[in-house]
């Protein structure tokens, strides 16, 4: 018997299979081991890697690209380690996020993180307090955390993203 081919598949699955990391998506047999292994699924009633891959195989392109769920994957790769078919849901969802970002479907929380990064050069600027500034001063450390300005300047040259909310 030759290499097994699982159905269904869809043009959306083919599109993702063309992105590095998404190649094996069509090999998914819907066994559910990824969901059973997933640390995020343990804490979320909605996040189910098997179900997301099922929607991809069924061609639910708009629903998947507009969903926040693929952005919840924390790339721990437990699913990838355990999948017997060589599918990496982590990489498949990475490919989904690439397409979603290209089409303007980045969830608000991630856009806010990017906006903070583009504004401050780091994402914890708002948590920097007077107390920490005094502590740093006492320790003889630099209190002006504009040390990232050069990085920020270069980032803006290559990544001219607009600041968001
Ligand atoms: S473990 Fe692999 S084959 Fe099983 S549902 Fe998840 S991705 Fe599909
Ligand atoms: S890589 Fe993502 S989908 Fe896979 S187990 Fe970790 S959080 Fe779940």
Structure token digits, residue 18? 């063309």
pLDDT at residue 2, rounded to an integer: 44
Question: Candidates 34, 51, 70, 91: which one to mutate for ligand 2, based on the most atoms within 8 Å of Cβ?
Answer: 34
Spatial neighbors of 41 by CB under 8 A, at least 6 apart, are: 35, 47, 48, 49
The residue nearest atom 7 of ligand 2, judged by CA position, is: 73
Q: Please list the helix, strand and coil fractions of the chain in percent, rounded to the nearest 5, in that order.
A: 60, 0, 40
- Closest to 17 (Cα-Cα) out of 104, 102, 105, 98: 98
Domains and CATH numbers, the chain: 11-102 (1.10.1060.10), 108-158 (no CATH)
pLDDT at residue 131, rounded to an integer: 81
More confident of the two residues 113 and 76: 76
Q: 159 in ligand 1 pocket by Cβ < 6 Å?
A: no
Handedness of CA 88, 90, 94, 96 (dihedral sign): positive
Rounded average pLDDT over 130-136:
85
Measured from the Cα of 88, ligand 1's closest atom is: 7
Cβ 78 vs Cβ 36: under 8 Å = no
Q: How confident is the model at residue 165 (pLDDT cuts 50, 70, 90)?
A: very low
The residue nearest atom 5 of ligand 2, judged by CA position, is: 38
Spatial neighbors of 104 by CB under 8 A, at least 6 apart, are: none
Could you read off the pLDDT of 52-91 as tens digits, one per residue? Answer: 999 999 999 999 999 999 999 999 999 999 999 999 999 9
- Whole-angstrom distance, CA of residue 94 vs CA of residue 127: 29
pLDDT at residue 8, rounded to an integer: 65
């Amino acid at each position: 018997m030759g290499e097994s081919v699982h159905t269904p598949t869809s043009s959306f699955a083919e599109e993702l299979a063309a992105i590095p990391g998404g190649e094996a998506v069509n090999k998914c047999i819907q066994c559910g081991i990824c969901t059973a292994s997933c640390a995020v699924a343990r804490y979320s009633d909605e996040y189910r890697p098997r179900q997301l891959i099922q929607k991809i195989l069924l061609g639910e392109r708009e629903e998947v690209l507009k969903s926040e769920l693929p952005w919840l994957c924390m790339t721990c790769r437990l699913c990838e380690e355990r999948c017997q078919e060589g599918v990496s849901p982590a990489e498949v969802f990475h490919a989904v996020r690439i397409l979603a970002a290209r089409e303007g479907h980045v969830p608000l929380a991630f856009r806010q993180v990017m906006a903070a990064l583009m504004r401050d050069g780091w994402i914890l600027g708002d948590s920097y307090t007077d107390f920490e500034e005094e502590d740093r001063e006492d320790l003889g450390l630099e209190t002006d955390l504009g040390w990232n300005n050069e990085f920020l300047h270069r980032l803006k040259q290559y990544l001219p993203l607009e600041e968001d909310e």
